[in-house]
Structure 1
Amino acid sequence: MPHLTANGCRLYYTDQGQGEPVVLIHGLGSSTRDWENQTDALSERYRVVCVDMRGHGLSDKPKGNYSIKGFSDDLVCLTEALDLQRPHIIGISMGGMIAFQLATDHPDIPASLTVINSAPEVRPKRVKEYAMVAQRLVLAHALPLSVTARGLARVLFPKAEQQTLRETFEQRWCENDRKAYLASLRAIIGWSVVERLDRICCPVLVISGDNDYMPIERKREYVCRLGDAHLEVIADSCHATPVDQPEHCNRLILDFLRQSESSRQPQQEITGA
């Protein structure tokens, strides 16, 4: 199994296809496996790299605190080690946060960003939001991981016909290391790069499920603060949009990547000349 060391942590990754590089970043408690509906579709045209972030999947699970910036720094090491020049970055949920962190810290790295059901900050601002954050932290630390996994699976896949998806994801979440999962959850709360969004200079696609946790209006607000960015809403989808609406999600991603390529081509030709 391919691994590389980033900042003292061995990271598992997959690498398939040829063409411009695309890096897929999973969400909290997830892994490379949850991109299974995207890798084949994307690798027909691109070099697709999926990575298990530290504390997740088949990567090392070091003790101590984690941070979104730390995850991003690991990702920078991965792009350098695999010689991924100007990769397209795609992240869901926590993975979208990591993408935002990388793009604001290193605006020269990404050729484009695709952010799915995520935001550039997780800072509660209203009493109700503080209560929700506190409840999630308390329950996550108090309940067994199996109970958390069962509850999340029901929220993400509420339909009767999604029983197989519920069972699959519940089993996968139960495989998480509890301490690493909680450290990753704590890394999210209070994080923000919203004041540095003007540093992002690449095209940005924001995809939202119509039934995602975060209201669509909140996503519209931060999209307006970005330069070359637009929002696409996928109907009949919750938080795990690449899983519950894979074909629609893949179509949006592929169209966006092609547009990003074509917009870069004239500049590349001028530079080459």
Structure 2
Amino acid sequence: MRCYLFFFLLLLSQQTLGQKAAPRGQNSAAGHYATVRGVRLYYETYGAGAPLLLVHGNGGSSKDFEKNIPYFAKRYRVIALDSRAHGRSVDAGDSLSFEMLADDCAALLTHLRLDSAYVLGWSDGGITALVLALRHPGKVKRLAATGANLWPDSTALTPELWQQMRRGYREGHGQTFTDAKRKNDWKVFLLDWNEPHVPLSALAGVKAPAFIIAGDRDVIRAEHTVAIYQSLPHAWLWIVPNSGHGTLQEHADEFNQKVDQFFRAPTVLPPVR
């Protein structure tokens, strides 16, 4: 009997470990599809509580939040999205825009019968969060955006990243991509090459409190991040020491705690100018 119990517990622990080891972005137990705006979007849900929408960066997927989901799932209903043309969300269109991505987020929340949600976006996801707050202000309770930029040039991006993007454009421009994956990758690249184009003055229309974050060694210029913060009516700013673009991965514990603190703060006072 004791042997049977031992092997039963061992099997149970292995199953539990297997569940924990299921990678985010490929977790069939947590995964769902929603057809909105003509696109079949993939997303995963974890936890319970106030809804929290996670939006990843260019070329990524919901698995990029591997170090964040377990923390937030203790207090929130986490909705980790694969943006259109990313991860398991397929998009047959020939172009992308941040307006498309923001409208997808709003439509997904409506599909889930959610009036609004907290939003955490990284890189392109941070841009999407800001555009979502502009286009669908009622959908955003509060937003945290790390590593976001408002336009695609060397005044917003570091010289190294800008030169890398220019080389990528020169190499791909004029090519005809017949392979579906390479065609999609090029479309995703062009999103960041061509966009966004959000004037600082437009941020006055963001009514939701915002937490603007970047690493002190980010690929987004520090002065650009500060300008975004200064242009928002209700905002916090955090430049993460000893961090590159991956603030939420490189400093996951502190990042999770500070973003959670922002979401749960009783009030967000207007910034002191």
Which TM-score applies when normalising by structure 1?
0.77
The superposition leaves residues 216-270 of structure 1 with CA deviations (integer Å, 9 ceiling, x where unpaired) of 12211121111111210112211111111111111111111111xx239xxxxxx
Structure 2 counterpart of 1:178, from 179, 182, 191: 182
The superposition leaves residues 163-200 of structure 1 with CA deviations (integer Å, 9 ceiling, x where unpaired) of xxxxxxxxxxxxx9322222122123242222411110
- Which of these two proteins has the greater Rg computed from alpha carbons? 2
Distance 1:10 1:125 in 2: 36
Structure 2 counterpart of 1:216, from 196, 214, 222: 222
The answer on 1:138 being equivalent to 2:142 is no
Q: Which residue of 2 aligns with 1:52?
A: 82
Distance 2:173 2:121 in 1: 26
| Structure with the larger RCO, 1 or 2 (CA within 8 Å, 6+ apart) | 1
* Number of aligned residues: 229
Distance 1:63 1:71 in 2: 13
Give secondary structure in 2 for the equivalent of 1:22.
strand
Distance 1:81 1:182 in 2: 29
CA contact (8 A) 1:37 1:243 kept: yes
Q: Which residue of 1 aligns with 2:232?
A: 226
Letter in 1 for 2:184: A
Give secondary structure in 1 for the equivalent of 2:67.
helix
Distance 1:180 1:237 in 2: 30
Distance 1:231 1:193, change over 3 A: same
CA contact (8 A) 1:124 1:190 kept: no
CA contact (8 A) 2:210 2:236 kept: yes
Q: Which residue of 2 aligns with 1:201?
A: 207
Runs of 4+ deviating beyond 6 Å: none
Which TM-score applies when normalising by structure 2?
0.77
Distance 2:204 2:36 in 1: 28
More helix by share: 1
Structure 1 counterpart of 2:264, from 258, 261, 264: 258
Give secondary structure in 1 for the equivalent of 2:238.
strand
Percent identical residues: 27
> Which stretches in structure 2 are left out of the alignment for 5+ residues?
1-30, 269-273
Distance 1:131 1:35 in 2: 28
CA RMSD of aligned residues (A): 2.3
Structure 2 counterpart of 1:237, from 243, 246, 252: 243
Q: Which residue of 2 aligns with 1:268?
A: none
Letter in 2 for 1:192: H
User: Offset at 1:11?
Assistant: 0.7
CA contact (8 A) 2:117 2:141 kept: yes
The answer on 1:191 being equivalent to 2:221 is no
The answer on 1:65 being equivalent to 2:95 is yes
Letter in 2 for 1:135: R
The residue correspondences of 1:73-112 to structure 2 (distance < 5 A) are 73-112=103-142
Give secondary structure in 2 for the equivalent of 1:62.
coil
Letter in 2 for 1:241: T
